[in-house]
Structure 1
Amino acid sequence: MQRLSPPPTSRRHVLANSLAAALVSATGPAAALAAGPERRLTVAAFPLVDVIAKDVLKTWAQRHPEVRAEVISRQYDDHHTAMTTALSTSGHLPDVIALEASYLGRFSLGTGLEDLSAPAFDAERLRDRFVPFAFQTARNREGRVVAMPTDIGPGSLFYRADLLAQAGLTEADLTRSWEDYVEAGAQLKARTGAYLIGDVRLLKDIVVRAGTPAGEGQFFDNQGRAQVTSPRFVRAFELARKVRRQGLDARVEVWFNDWAEMLKRGRLATEISGCWMAGQMANWVAPGTAGKWRVAQLPENAYCSYGGTYYAIPRRSAPERKQLAWQLIQELTLDRQRQLEAFQSQDAFPALLAAQEGPFFDQPVPFLGGQKARALWRDAARRIPVVRMHKQQKFADEVVNGELDNVLEYGKPIARALEDAQALLVHRANR
């Protein structure tokens, strides 16, 4: 089974696949300075956040000709690994770091990031300019802001309108509840032969996330205690087991060739993802299905974000360049026009509220049959609750997924599977 090889403009797929090659590039006329004291500013990023940063630096460098601005880009996982090492050793620290939302918990709970709430930066004054959840997610356990949001991925339910019509179903049949979503999937499979979803993990993930109490974490409560035996995990596992037993998931992993082929051939009736998926399907995954897809808010009016990007300043980076770094971060996150351009070119839905207004959001999306989907995503973005990230977020996800496999493949009782996951997380947290 092979992964797809996306074009370089496929930002979200590059992030998911981690396929981009490492590169280093200097930006702006400062690179050609022949005399005078030179100041350097380094931004560490990952594809295709690096493209957005370079575009900003082209004009930013014109106002700072004395500065040699440089973007260092690494493949997605390599970038975050390198930043973990740099922050822990204080070696080769950049001036600005781009961080993906799923990694933010690991970084924000340490001491490696600068406190942007401090008077020297006063990030608190900017709070009301962003969608609430994005700004609040950037707080550490002491409530201090350690990063600034730039883009988010409001989640939605993508569905094939033609397959729903063929099965005699409506959008409401999919969205009333997660149980109704699964029941509609059984009817879709019986009447059209299409699978409801690619893999049950997608369903398990969103049911768990959607049920997370505001202000708590997906796997840990606000006191850092594991909570994977809670009712929302039980419900998510039960729904996933029902989908698998009824043969409603195609058992294909997102971003692999067989997944894309099923999308192209109308074998997958729904997809649960961030709003950026519309661009991915339209531009290269399944362009031949244009006009057949629609989007809806997630079942039970659940609201969540799929990914997002933040900019931060390392606490131990060069002190004399921190104010310059802060100026650049503000330009990267607060410029309405740049945020809109990033959305239009890179599917980077803006976290900045001012960039969520304007005629672009009222325009029909051709791939979605002319639906004005951007307004729907905007509504979702403003309703997404704050879910706290934990430093063990990725480990907890691996543990829970492992136990889900035990339930689906080996018939392990759900209660015991979740208890075993809980015990492992408690053990890890107490180390």
Structure 2
Amino acid sequence: MIIFKKKAIFTALCASLVTSMATAEQVELTIASFPNFNKAAEAAAPLFEKQYPNIKLKFVNMAYSDHHNAMTTAMATGANLPDVMGVEANFIGRFAESGGLEQLNAAPYNAGEFTQKIVPFTLGQATDSDGALRAMPADIGPGALFYRKDVLEIAGVTEEELIKDWDSFIQAGVKVKAKTGNYLIANATDIKNIYIRSELKEGEGIYFDKEHNILVNTPRFKEAFRLSKVARDAGIDGKISPWTNEWTEGLKRGTISVQMMGAWLGGHLQDWIAPDDAGKWRSADLPNGSFASWGGSFFAIPAKAEHKAEAWEFIKFMSTNKEVQLLAFKEINAFPSLIEAQTCPMFDEEIAYLGGQKARLQWKKAALKIPFVAMDCYDEVARQIVDDALEQVLEHDADIDKVLADAEKQIKRRARRR
């Protein structure tokens, strides 16, 4: 009875808010986001405000880490909460399980009516352990392998050698290093990052299964660590961290020949990392027939937000409107989460920067093969512990079985369930 009354009160409140929208009561809607996800929303703002003249959008943008830290604090304290919160895939599990976000697949939002229109795997990323959808996906990151075709040609390496399987991938790197002096990859951790995201069972998480059992001390992680160690010992990685100046310079100069990330990296290469290298880069599937998600962005409504009805209208506008999804794709290469948007003729176009490849069709195919992956509020904790464990293997020749067993114990201590 108490639960029923709460729902009735909440529904009445939302109805009141919708009424205020209809009577043109002016509302300032605060959107908290991070680069360059914010650019998609800002590009769509004139279209939204034209359709909803009573809503004025206010954007509050912070650097990636600062934004997510600020949102964590805001949800814990209830202070400085936005009406709409942008969340990146690495953090969505933490926020989804926190209880501080609205349940969108329940009344009055009823997001379930849209879920058949969205790429399936990304909905799992925003669904908590109780089946509640806590955020709506705005874009996705199907994993892809980008490589410098000119460098591989000099080394006598084919795309087939590069992606046949992981051992062939590493041997291709040995040839590239011997013939050109260039590194195949920035860091051996790239292999681990992709491998642990592939070969997943439907509904299984990266670090935890459906029952929240820890999965890091398993054959999947052991093989990921082994392959990373083989790559390091073969000298094919530059020991360079992503998103550093050294990393961007390596990609620009071709001294890093391959980068495995989300399909959105193609836009970064073209727009700011290596804009003068049109025709030199190509995109391919991940090695060993793997399909994995890398990144993606979501919109959520904090449970204590002031303008929930208006927030939901904005989220629907950004995530279920074909025109807006394609606008974001054109603005920041944000790959659409809306299946309908992926039928646009734009996907059949050749990409001049990638040597005329129709790479969007490749990424679309990959997106539909990525399994529905569950997220967990302790994913970020597990990621940090696993990364530290791999560093011990790569830098200090630590035993893989031992470090993963220790990592499992550390995660268990830090991820004690309530």
TM (normalized to structure 2)?
0.90
Q: Which residue of 2 aligns with 1:391?
A: 377
Distance 1:322 1:287 in 2: 41
Alpha-carbon distance in structure 2 between the residues aligned to 1:180 and 1:303: 17
Whether 1:317 aligns to 2:305 is yes
Q: Which of 333, 336, 357 does residue 343 from structure 2 map onto?
A: 357
Q: Tell me, which stretches of 5 or more residues in structure 1 are unaligned?
A: 1-35
Per-residue CA deviation, residues 355-397 of structure 1 (Å, 9 max, x unaligned), is 1112211111111111111111111111111222221212211
Counterpart of 1:104 in structure 2 is 92
2:198 maps to which of 199, 210, 217: 210
Matched with 2:36 is 48
Q: Is 2:252 the partner of 1:260?
A: no
Letter of the 1:377 partner, please give it. Answer: W
Query: Does residue 1:175 correspond to 2:141, yes or no?
Result: no
**Kept after mapping to 1: 8 A contact 2:192/2:227:** yes
Separation in structure 1 between the aligned mates of residue 154 and residue 60 of structure 2, nearest angstrom: 50
Distance in 1 (alpha carbons) for counterparts of 2:347 and 2:54? 39
Mapping of residues 300-379 of structure 1, within 5 Å: 300-318=288-306, 321-379=307-365
Quick check: 1:57 aligned with 2:45? yes
Asked whether the 8 Å contact 2:336–2:342 carries over to 1, the reply is yes
CA, structure 1 residues 195+48, in 2 after alignment: closer, same or farther (shift >3 Å)?
closer
Matched, 1:425 2:411: yes
Aligned: 1:142 with 2:142: no
Q: Paired residue for 1:199?
A: 187
Structure 1 segment 241-256 matched on structure 2, within 5 A: 241-256=229-244
Which stretch shows the higher mean deviation, 322-331 or 36-45? Answer: 36-45
Using the TM superposition, give the Cα deviation of residue 139 of structure 1 relative to its aligned residue in structure 2, in angstroms.
Answer: 1.1
Deviation at 1:37, TM superposition (A): 5.5
Counterpart of 2:150 in structure 1 is: 162
Q: What's the secondary structure of 2:191's corresponding residue?
A: helix
Farther off after superposition, 328-337 or 81-90: 81-90
**Aligned position for 1:404:** 390
Alpha-carbon spacing, 1:162–1:48, altered in 2? closer, same or farther (3 Å): closer
Q: Provide the C-alpha distance between the structure 2 equivalents of 1:396 and 1:221, rounded to a whole number of angstroms.
A: 13
1:340 and 1:64 map into 2 onto residues whose CA distance is 20
1:22 is matched with which residue? none
Deviation at 1:430, TM superposition (A): 2.4
C-alpha change, 1:183 and 1:231, in structure 2 (3 Å) is same
Bigger mean CA deviation after superposition, 48-57 or 116-125 = 48-57
- CA–CA distance in structure 1, aligned partners of residues 251 and 61 of structure 2: 31
CA distance in 2, matches of 1:163, 1:340: 33
421-430 or 55-64, which moves further after superposition? 55-64
Equivalent residue for 2:59?
71
Tell me the C-alpha RMSD between the 2 structures: 1.7
Residue 103 of structure 1 deviates from its aligned partner by 0.6
Is residue 115 of structure 2 the alignment partner of residue 115 of structure 1?
Answer: no
In structure 2, how many angstroms separate the alpha carbons of the residues matched to 1:117 and 1:260? 40
Query: 1: distance between equivalents of 2:188 and 2:158?
Result: 22
Q: In the alignment, what sits opposite 1:29? A: none
Whole-angstrom CA distance in 2 between matches of 1:114 and 1:231: 37
Aligned AA for 1:174?
Answer: L
Distance 1:285 1:55 in 2: 22
On the 8 A contact 2:29/2:55 being kept in 1, the answer is yes
Tell me which residue corresponds to 1:16: none
Q: Which of 261, 266, 269 is the equivalent residue of 2:257?
A: 269
- The answer on whether the counterparts of 2:322 and 2:340 sit within 8 Å (CA) in structure 1 is yes
Task: Pick which of 259-268 and 99-108 moved more.
Answer: 259-268
Structure 1 residues 249 and 143: alpha-carbon distance in aligned structure 2, compared to 1, 3 A threshold: same
2:289 equivalent to 1:286 = no
SS at match of 1:145: coil
Are the equivalent residues in 2 in contact too, given 1:225–1:426 (CA < 8 A)? no
> Paired residue for 1:231, among 200, 219, 237?
219
- The CA distance in 2 between the partners of 1:64 and 1:168, in whole Å, is 57
Match of 1:129 among 117, 124, 127: 117
Equivalent AA in structure 2 for residue 146 of structure 1: R
Q: Which sections of structure 2, spanning at least 5 residues, go unmatched?
A: 1-23
CA distance in 1 between counterparts of 2:215 and 2:258 reads 29
1:180/1:89 CA distance change after superposition, 3 Å:
same
Is the 2:43–2:331 contact (alpha carbons within 8 Å) kept by the matching residues of 1? no
- Contact 2:285/2:362 (8 A) holds in 1: yes
Give, as a single letter, the amino acid of the residue that structure 2 aligns with 1:414.
I
Deviation string 1:209-238 (CA, Å, 9 cap, x unpaired) is: 113332111111211121211001111111
CA contact (8 A) 2:154 2:180 kept: yes
Q: Deviations over 1:33-82 (max 9, x none)?
A: xxx95433222222222232233332322343333432222222222122
- Matched residue count: 394
Deviates more, 1:158-167 or 1:354-363: 158-167
Maintained 8 Å contact 1:102/1:389: no
Q: 1:312 to 1:167 in 2, by over 3 A?
A: same
The one-letter code sitting in structure 2 at the alignment partner of 1:348 is A
